[in-house]
């Protein structure tokens, strides 16, 4: 299917830029290409461009070149440092922004980073939307993410044909920063749940219970949820193939704890979960799935 926009009688295929082709970015960009959009991509490590090039995406040499060639560009980067580097660095996003350009940052960052980037983009006449996502590799591949957008409403509307290919639920949360806050709150809950879940499995194992039985009991009651069901089965198999890198979960908990500091909101459990994920990262599990925290918790005596 070809996506078109109509402007003063002219007909154009809708173009999108996409910067950052990691686990999430590559899956989302592929959906855009497969949906018929003309997509131009850039990734820091160029070898990750190949899969997109094979599907028909155009390659750009720099983030600046992506922005210059597309009215609306999406970004999906690791963390606040990466988001700032790609925006403010040489041949970066800001070097390509001109009046009216749309920049949609889907990375999970803190509200201040999002506001700093949004402020710089709008100061140059561009439009900014933050749009972090809830959902992992599979929802990204299937286009069933939950998108937590906030910022420029005109850009939200203009990006909607692309957003609709990425998500099953697309929220507009108001001013820039609200999307980041929502994402951090939700992932803080997820990180805390994973930490206590793995402690339960580890304790059960140490006292002689069968993991399959523990999972069955949890799944039969009010605590049943898709994450425990999916990750519990994989943990039992010893399968920690990366869907959501552990290092990113720790980053999200760190940012959530920081948000708690700013809001004077005590976060006892989130702070403890952050330490548990930090420990797991220090033990070398950062690039594995966030469920690999189990390996740090359930160490043999």
Q: What are phi and psi of 217, to 5 degrees?
A: -65, -45
Place of tokens 């004077």: 264
Task: Please pick, from the candidates 49, 108, 115, 291, the single residue that binds ligand NAP as defined by CB under 6 A.
Answer: 108
Which window, 31-39, 50-58, 65-73, 133-141, contacts ligand NAP (CB under 6 A)? Answer: 133-141
Smallest distance, Å, CB 188 to ligand NAP? Answer: 13
Q: Which residue is nearest to ligand NAP (CB)?
A: 22
46 neighbors 64 (Cβ within 8 angstroms) = no
Half-sphere exposure of 276 (CA within 13 A, CB side): 26
* Region for 135 from its dihedrals, namely left if φ exceeds 0, alpha if ψ lies in -120 to 50, beta otherwise: left
Task: Please pick, from the candidates 24, 163, 218, 255, the single residue that binds ligand NAP as defined by CB under 6 A.
Answer: 24
Q: Is the dihedral of CA 21, 22, 28, 33 positive or negative?
A: positive
Smallest distance, Å, CB 43 to ligand NAP? Answer: 5
Task: Please pick, from the candidates 40, 107, 115, 250, the single residue that binds ligand NAP as defined by CB under 6 A.
Answer: 107
Q: Does 243 bind ligand NAP (CB under 6 A)?
A: yes
Our answer to whether residue 299 is catalytic in this structure is no
Q: Does 22 bind ligand NAP (CB under 6 A)?
A: yes
Q: Is 286 exposed, middle or buried (0-12, 13-18, 19+ CB in 10 A)?
A: buried
- Span 76-105, contacts to ligand NAP by CB under 6 A: 76-79, 82, 85-86
State the catalytic residue, choosing from 183, 231, 247, 251: 183
What is the C-alpha R_g of the chain?
20
Smallest distance, Å, CB 248 to ligand NAP? Answer: 4
Residue 145 DSSP class: E
Q: Does 190 bind ligand NAP (CB under 6 A)?
A: no
Question: Per-residue contact track with ligand NAP, 30 to 69, x per CB under 6 A?
Answer: -------------xxx--x---------------------
Task: Please pick, from the candidates 133, 150, 253, 276, the single residue that binds ligand NAP as defined by CB under 6 A.
Answer: 133
Q: Does 226 bind ligand NAP (CB under 6 A)?
A: no
Q: How many angstroms separate the CA atoms of 147 and 177, rounded?
A: 14
* Region for 172 from its dihedrals, namely left if φ exceeds 0, alpha if ψ lies in -120 to 50, beta otherwise: beta
Nearer to ligand NAP, 48 or 236 (CB): 48
Q: Is the dihedral of CA 96, 100, 106, 107 positive or negative?
A: positive
Secondary-structure breakdown of the chain: helix, strand, coil percentages, each rounded to the nearest 5: 55, 15, 30
Residues that bind ligand NAP (CB under 6 A): 20-25, 43-45, 48, 76-79, 82, 85-86, 107-108, 133, 136-137, 243-245, 248, 252
Could you give the residue numbers annotated as active site? 183
């Amino acid at each position: 299917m070809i996506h078109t926009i109509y402007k003063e009688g002219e007909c154009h295929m809708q173009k999108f830029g996409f910067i950052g082709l990691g686990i999430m970015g590559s899956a989302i960009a592929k959906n855009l290409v497969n949906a018929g959009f003309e997509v131009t991509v850039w990734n820091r490590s160029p070898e990750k461009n190949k899969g997109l090039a094979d599907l028909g995406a155009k390659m750009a040499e720099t983030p600046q070149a992506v922005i210059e060639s597309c009215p609306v560009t999406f970004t999906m980067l690791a963390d606040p440092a990466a988001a700032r580097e790609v925006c403010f660095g040489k041949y970066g996003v800001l070097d390509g922004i001109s009046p009216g350009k749309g920049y949609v940052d889907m990375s999970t960052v803190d509200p201040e980073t999002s506001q700093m980037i949004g402020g710089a983009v709008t100061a140059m006449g561009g439009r900014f939307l933050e749009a972090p996502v809830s959902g992992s590799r599979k929802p990204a591949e299937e286009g069933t993410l939950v998108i937590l957008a906030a910022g420029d409403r005109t850009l939200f509307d203009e990006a909607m044909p692309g957003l609709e290919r990425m998500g099953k639920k697309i929220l507009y949360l108001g001013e820039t920063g609200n999307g980041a806050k929502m994402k951090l709150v939700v992932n803080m809950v997820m990180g805390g749940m994973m930490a206590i879940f793995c402690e339960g499995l580890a304790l059960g194992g140490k006292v002689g219970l069968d993991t399959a039985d523990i999972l069955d009991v949890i799944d039969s009651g009010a605590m049943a949820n898709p994450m425990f069901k999916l990750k519990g089965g994989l943990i039992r198999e010893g399968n920690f193939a990366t869907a959501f890198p552990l290092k990113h979960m720790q980053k999200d908990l760190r940012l959530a704890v920081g948000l708690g500091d700013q809001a004077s909101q005590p976060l006892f459990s989130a702070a403890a979960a952050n330490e548990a994920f930090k420990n797991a990262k220090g033990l070398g599990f950062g690039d594995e799935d966030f469920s690999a925290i189990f390996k740090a918790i359930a160490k043999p005596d």
